[in-house]
Amino acid sequence: MIMAKFEPIETTERLYVRVARRISKLIESGNVKPGDKLPSERDLADMLNVSRPSIREALIALEVSGVIEVRIGSGIYVCKDQSVPVTDEGVGPFEILEMRLLVEPAACALAAERITNEQLARLQQIYIELERTNGTQQMEAFDEQFHKLIGEATENTAIDKTISWLWVIRGHSQLSRGYHRLIVEEGVYPRLDEHKKILDALMSHDPAAAKSAMRKHLITATSSAAQHFTDQQ
């Protein structure tokens, strides 16, 4: 395993781009060769003195580009003998999840106070579709509808548009789109039981329960997405 080639870097530009570029240049120079195993996400974060989310975004950029390969239960390996241009490929998936965690729990609490019977009926129907498509890629479309309807139910245009915008950038960002494809291939899908708890809290018009259920859901979603890297030693 490569342990001595990484040094802390400064944080004066988009961090994941700098981290990815550093690793890519090491590969180009021959210091890190195809087949070499990289340090774990945790060790890379310590070596480069950056946050683990920034390491994740950098590794995503390199994996989507085919520079590295994550082998489940084994580690992170170099699979190209040259670097690739590292550019800003859009908002990263963990950046989006972090923003959602800031916005959506409070939005869900507000929705619990204001959601109409008609909106609850629509939300119930979306949940039925989530059940029907559980564990398939078709589930993703209904997951988006579920969360966007909660934004609509806040009766706050700024919140509604912010939640919708987060789904738009998830689809438009090359980095986020590429990583989402990878974890779906590994069987990571929205959690049905967590959506049911959110639905139940909204139907009870319970703001505290709605906020808690949404927060737990997004924390779990972040942890599930991170397993792609954090399981590697």
The encoded tokens of residue 116 equal 């109409």
SS3 49: coil
Within 10 A of 210 (CB to CB), how many other CB atoms are there? Answer: 29
Same domain for 99 and 73, yes or no, is: no
Instruction: List, for residues 163-189, the tens digit of each pLDDT value.
Output: 999 999 888 877 777 777 777 777 778
Is residue 83 pLDDT above 70, yes or no? Answer: no
When mean pLDDT is compared over 14-28, 80-94, 158-172, the highest value belongs to 158-172
Same domain for 146 and 36, yes or no, is: no
**What percent of the chain is modeled with pLDDT above 70?**
87
Nearest in space to 94 (alpha carbons), one of 218, 212, 182, 232: 218
Give the CA diameter of the chain: 63
Q: What is the spatial distance between Cα 64 and Cα 69, in angstroms, rounded to a whole number?
A: 9
Same domain for 106 and 49, yes or no, is: no
One-letter amino acid of 57? E
Range of the domain at 130: 93-227
Same domain for 97 and 206, yes or no, is: yes
Is residue 233 pLDDT above 50, yes or no? Answer: no
Nearest in space to 196 (alpha carbons), one of 140, 141, 102, 131: 131
CB-based contact 186:72 (threshold 8 Å)? yes
- Half-sphere CA count of 230, side-chain side, radius 13 A: 8
Same domain for 156 and 61, yes or no, is: no
Q: Does residue 199 belong to any structural domain of this protein?
A: yes
The counts of H helices and E strands in the chain are 10, 3
Q: Does residue 2 belong to any structural domain of this protein?
A: no
Q: Does residue 9 belong to any structural domain of this protein?
A: no
CATH number where 40 lies: 1.10.10.10
SS3 102: helix
Q: How confident is the model at residue 230 (pLDDT cuts 50, 70, 90)?
A: low
**pTM as predicted:** 0.75
Same domain for 29 and 115, yes or no, is: no
Same domain for 36 and 71, yes or no, is: yes
Instruction: Give the pLDDT score at 80.
Output: 65
When mean pLDDT is compared over 46-60, 178-192, 193-207, the highest value belongs to 193-207
The encoded tokens of residue 14 equal 């988009």
Average pLDDT, rounded, for the chain: 84
Instruction: List, for residues 100-135, the tens digit of each pLDDT value.
Output: 999 999 999 999 999 999 999 999 999 999 999 998
Q: Does residue 122 belong to any structural domain of this protein?
A: yes
Question: How many domains does the chain fold into?
Answer: 2
Instruction: Give the pLDDT score at 176.
Output: 79
